[in-house]
Structure 1
Amino acid sequence: MAVRDALVALLTAGPAYGFQLHGELAARTGARREINVGQTYATLDRLTSRRLIEPAGSTDDGLPLHRLTDAGRDAAAAWLGGADASGTDPWDETVDRVLIAASLPGTDLGAVLAGERARWMTRRDDSAARAAAPAEAAGDGLARLAAAAEVQRADAALGWLAAVEHAAPAPFAPSADRPRRGRRPGSRAAAAGVGATSAGEPDESGPSPHSTSA
């Protein structure tokens, strides 16, 4: 899962600030996605540059809020509809997409599950055909074994999707609890060059020094 896809999906629940989104990502993926906080802020900067998100004011204590633009809502709908990010693993995309969709109020989980089921059935059928192809050249036997492994993975994915359909937890609203950290505009100056507030909160006015690609 690309972090940018997850963040635009999370913002379908309404405006949020950076560290809130960082915590929501972990909470809504069952803690299987815990990324560096700097990556969250760097990705928000890129989403703003691409006009997928825009400023939405600030919290009562000065943390800048982000919201989706029309293009951002389209991007979120595309990802929830099954558009995998380039270079991602289909299984990882499925698990993250379904977990996030199951957690978000107002998201049609049934439609997400139906789309995932259809894609995995196609993958299974394609892999089964390759696994049954006659071995005519060196290496063909290995290719058949690899295809058979993909059949097994597709069957496992379909089984997991069925389990989610019968036991999906209820969606929940974004947390109203204040995370322990959140970057504030101008806090570097207020902290006399320390780069943090008295509460240990990093500045939200610029890129994090820990930013990585997303």
Structure 2
Amino acid sequence: MSVRSSLLAILTLGPAYGFQLHVELRSRTGARRTVNVGQIYATLDRLVTQGAVDAAGVTDDGLPLYRLAEPGHREALTWLHDTSSVAGEEWSECLDRVLIASSLPEIDALEIIAAYRRAWSADPERPAENGQERLVAAADTALAAAALAWLDEAATAISASEPGSFERELSDERPRRGRRPTHVPDVEESAG
């Protein structure tokens, strides 16, 4: 998953802070990927340096907020509507894009699904010169069939749902400050 692109897509909803983006990323991808909070903040720092994201003040309790700059907004939309991926990441990128797009109110997830249907339906003609290449071709065919079946199921679920039931705004879940002790010894225990 492209953490950078996913964060930019989520920021199309408006300003957010790092932990909030961490929660949103996990929630909007069905918890299929684990990204640590430090990676979120490191990515946000790079995005600010590169001009894709701007600082947007702080929350009432002092958490730094980030918002999309115009280049970041363009990049988010381009990523969501693109179907190209690094070799070997096609399935994961498809899932991430469709899952995130289906959660964003201003994005037409069915359009993204249709683009992916076209991409997975394309039949690259590659002559298999040996046994391993034949096995890879068979795996690619099986993966494409599975992807098309899932895309059909996703399109049906989104089309049959109540308007707005997949989409949601940013969560207001707050980060925990410090750890609570699991057991506080009473006076007798600590004297003992």
Map 1:55-70 to 2 at 5 A. Answer: 55-70=55-70
Cα contact 1:53–1:67 (8 A) shared by 2: yes
Cα contact 2:20–2:172 (8 A) shared by 1: no
Shift of the 41–175 alpha-carbon distance from structure 1 to 2, 3 Å rule, reads same
TM-score, normalization by structure 2: 0.84
Amino acid corresponding to residue 157 of structure 1 in structure 2: A
Provide the residue aligned with 1:149 in structure 2.
139
Amino acid corresponding to residue 144 of structure 1 in structure 2: R
- Give structure 1 regions of 4+ aligned residues with deviation exceeding 3 angstroms: 83-88
Shift of the 74–31 alpha-carbon distance from structure 1 to 2, 3 Å rule, reads same
Map 1:30-45 to 2 at 5 A. Answer: 30-45=30-45
What stretches of structure 1 of length at least 5 have no aligned partner? Answer: 181-198, 202-214
Provide the residue aligned with 2:168 in structure 1.
172
User: Which structure is higher in RCO with an 8 Å CA cutoff and minimum separation 6?
Assistant: 1
Q: CA RMSD in A?
A: 1.8
Shift of the 88–56 alpha-carbon distance from structure 1 to 2, 3 Å rule, reads farther
Amino acid corresponding to residue 81 of structure 2 in structure 1: G
Shift of the 75–20 alpha-carbon distance from structure 1 to 2, 3 Å rule, reads same
Map 1:44-193 to 2 at 5 A. Answer: 44-82=44-82, 84=84, 86=86, 89-122=89-122, 125-126=123-124, 129-130=125-126, 133=127, 139-168=129-158, 170-180=166-176
- Alignment partners' CA distance in 2, 1:176 and 1:41: 18
- Alignment partners' CA distance in 2, 1:30 and 1:177: 17
Shift of the 42–5 alpha-carbon distance from structure 1 to 2, 3 Å rule, reads same
Amino acid corresponding to residue 82 of structure 2 in structure 1: G
TM-score, normalization by structure 1: 0.75
Give the share of equivalent positions with the same residue, in percent: 50
- Alignment partners' CA distance in 2, 1:16 and 1:36: 17
Provide the residue aligned with 2:11 in structure 1.
11
Alpha-carbon offset, residue 177 of structure 1: 2.8
What stretches of structure 2 of length at least 5 have no aligned partner? Answer: 159-164, 180-192
Q: Secondary structure at the match of 2:178?
A: coil
Alpha-carbon offset, residue 145 of structure 1: 2.4
Aligned pair count reads 173
Amino acid corresponding to residue 54 of structure 2 in structure 1: E
